[in-house]
């Protein structure tokens, strides 16, 4: 069980959190202008890298807030967590 540093609450066990997938995906502001291909890419295509992954977590059973984390998917080590809206370090 990972130990996740919530940027608001500090380190908490993983079971307090929910995972919400790749970070920094921005919902297109005018979806109508996108082709079906471009829209489905936004919906479904994910980086899924081996290594450094920017991802979203929510401290569901804590402060309830979403935040971002950089985690290495080959070791599960979390390099850093940061608040929504902040750029990836």
Partner 1 sequence: MIVGGGGHGLGTAYYLAAEHGLTNIAVVEKGWIGGGNTGRNTTIIRSNYLFDESIAIYEHALKLWEGLSQALNYNVMYSPRGVMMLAHSVHDTQMLKRIMHADRANGVDNEWLTPEEAKAYCPPLEIGTHLRYPVLGATLQRRGGTARHDAVAWGYARAADALGVDILENCEVTGIRRGAGGAVEALETTRGLIRTPRVGVVAAGNSSVVMGLAGVRLPLESFPLQALVSEPVKPVFPCVVMSNAIHAYISQSDKGELVIGAGTDAYNSYTQRGALHVDLHTLEAICELFPAFRRLRMLRNWGGIVDVTVDRSPIVGKTPVPGLYLNCGWGTGGFKATPGSAHVFAWTMAKDEPHPYAAPFSLERFRDGAMIDEAAAAGVSH
Partner 2 sequence: MSAFRTASGGRVDRARRLRFTFDGRAWEGLAGDTLASALLANGVHLVGRSFKYHRPRGILTAGAEEPNALVTVRRDAARETPNLKATQVELYDGLVAESQNRWPSLGFDVGRVNDLLSPLFPAGFYYKTFMWPRSAWARLYEPVIRRAAGLGRAPEAPDPDRYAQRHAHCDVLVVGAGPAGIAAARAAADAGACVILCDEQSEPGGALLDGAPAQIDGLAAGDWLARAVAALAADPKVRMLARTTAFGYFPHNHLGLVERCTDHIAAPAADSVRERLWQVRAREVVLAAGAIEQPLVFPGNDRPGVMLAGAARSYLKRYGVRAGTRAVLVTATDAAYQAALDLHAAGVAIAAIADLRPAAAGVWVEAARRAGIEVLAGAAIGGTRGGRRVSGVTISGRTIACDLVLMSGGYAPSVHLFSQSRGRLTWSDSMRCFVPSQSAERERSAGACRGVYGLAAALADGAAAGLAAARACGFTGIERGYAVAGESATHQAPGATPPAVADRGKAFVDFQNDVTIRDLVLAAQEGFRSIEHVKRYTTVGMATDQGKTSNLNALGLVAARLGKPVPDVGHTTFRMPYTPVTFGALAGAARGELFDPVRTTPMHEVAVARGAVFEDVGQWKRARYFPRAGEDMHAAVARECLAVRNACGVFDASTLGKIAVVGPDAAEFLNRLYVNDFAGLGVGRCRYGVLLREDGFVYDDGVIARLAADRFHVTTTTGGAARVLAMMEDYRQTEWPGLAVWLTSTTEQWAVIAVQGPLARRVIEPLAAGIDLAPSALPHMAVAHGRIAGAPAMLFRVSFTGELGYEINVPAARGVAVWEAVCAAGRAHGITPYGTETMHVLRAEKGYIIVGQETDGTAVPDDVGLAWAIGRKKPDFVGKRSIERAGIRRAGRKQLVGLRTRDPKIVLEEGAQLADRPGIPAPMKPVGHVTSSYASAVLGHSIALAMIAGGRARIGQTLFVRVPGGDVEAKVTIPVFYDPEGARLHA
User: Could you list the residues that contact partner 2 (CB under 8 A)?
Assistant: 1-3, 13, 18, 20, 26-27, 30-32, 34, 36, 39-40, 43-44, 56, 58, 60, 64-66, 75-76, 84-85
Nearest to 70 by CA among 12, 28, 7, 13: 7
x/- mask, partner 1, residues 44-73, rule CB under 8 A, reads xxxxxxx--x-x---------------x-x
**2 near partner 1 (CB under 8 A):** yes
CA 56 – CA 37 distance, rounded (Å): 24
Quickly count: other Cβ atoms within 10 Å of residue 36's Cβ: 7
């Amino acid at each position: 069980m990972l130990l996740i540093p919530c940027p608001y609450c500090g380190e908490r066990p993983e079971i307090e959190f929910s995972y919400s997938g790749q970070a920094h995906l921005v919902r297109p502001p005018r979806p109508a202008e996108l082709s079906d291909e471009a829209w489905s890419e936004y919906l479904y295509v994910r980086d899924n890298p081996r290594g450094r992954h920017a991802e979203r977590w929510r401290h569901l059973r804590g402060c309830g807030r979403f935040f971002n984390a950089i985690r290495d998917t080959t070791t599960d080590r979390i390099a850093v967590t940061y608040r929504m809206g902040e750029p990836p370090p």
